[in-house]
Amino acid sequence: MRTEISFSPAFAMASLHLEPGESVKAEAGAMMAMSPSVEIETSTQGGIMKGLRRSVLGGESFFMNTFTATGPDAHVIVAPALPGDIIMWPISGKTVYLQSGSYLASPESIDIDSKWGGAKTFFSKEGLFMLKCTGTGDLIVSSYGAIHSIDLAAGQSYTVDTGHMVGWEEGVGYEVAKAGSWKSSILGGEGLVVKLTGPGRVYIQTRSPSDFIDWLVPKLPTQRS
């Protein structure tokens, strides 16, 4: 699979070019366009229970689409629901974790499942579960706003607002905590943060979907009684 990313960082899309017989799977609803030489198949990608875990616990769709090239010059264009960036995250026999909504597409050589994040994630906006991506290939990841990478050295610490997390490599320590005191966390608007400890790579996004919703909802018209 050859990937071309266009219109970054505000309104990115990814063109996935496939060789005959090659397949790529994508989040339901991510397909923007495709060539005539591509067939689409919808499934739970691993059975009903795995689909339920990914949907109910991981925050993704119950179904996923698989696109298979049936001829030459085959390609699929995918784009995320929110305006933002797209990156290719090459993984080779290792595991990365994504927050809900960041997974966009991947080759069949990468398995997508959900993972229990432990009791320490109970108050995180990402919830108790995250997506676990394991295998070899280019993982296509999206963000809300621009995406920024941080490479942490062994023992190096970094703090990120929970709503700005995108993903991190296995081996990076992950702990949810208050931004400061309870007073500053609640009244100061910072809420909860993720305290990360290296080694490994971390991706963050410049905008928070939950903050956008908090801004938008009070502005929506309400039905008069």
Give phi and psi for 130, each to the nearest 5: -135, 165
On the question of pLDDT at 47 being above 50, the answer is no
CB contact set of 127 (below 8 Å; sequence gap of 6+): 57, 59, 100, 117, 121
Q: Does domain 2-215 have CATH number 3.40.630.30?
A: no
Top pLDDT among 17 and 57 is at 17
Confidence of residue 44 (pLDDT cuts 50, 70, 90): low
The strand ranges marked E within the chain are 2-6, 13-18, 23-27, 31-34, 38-43, 64-69, 74-78, 86-98, 103-107, 110-116, 129-142, 147-152, 157-161, 165-169, 173-178, 192-197, 200-205
**How many percent of the chain have pLDDT more than 70?**
78
Confidence of residue 129 (pLDDT cuts 50, 70, 90): low
User: By mean pLDDT, which of 3-12, 56-65, 181-190 is the weakest?
Assistant: 181-190
Q: Is 162 helix (H, G, I), strand (E, B) or coil?
A: helix
Confidence of residue 94 (pLDDT cuts 50, 70, 90): confident
Give phi and psi for 47, each to the nearest 5: 105, 170
Confidence of residue 130 (pLDDT cuts 50, 70, 90): confident
Q: Mean pLDDT score of the chain, rounded to an integer? A: 83
Alpha-carbon span 126 to 129, nearest angstrom: 7
CB contact set of 74 (below 8 Å; sequence gap of 6+): 17, 18, 19, 20, 22, 34, 35, 37, 38
Confidence of residue 123 (pLDDT cuts 50, 70, 90): very low
Sequence letter at residue 7: F
What secondary structure does DSSP assign to 117-145, as a single string?
--GGGTTSTT-SEEEEEEEEEEEEEE-SB
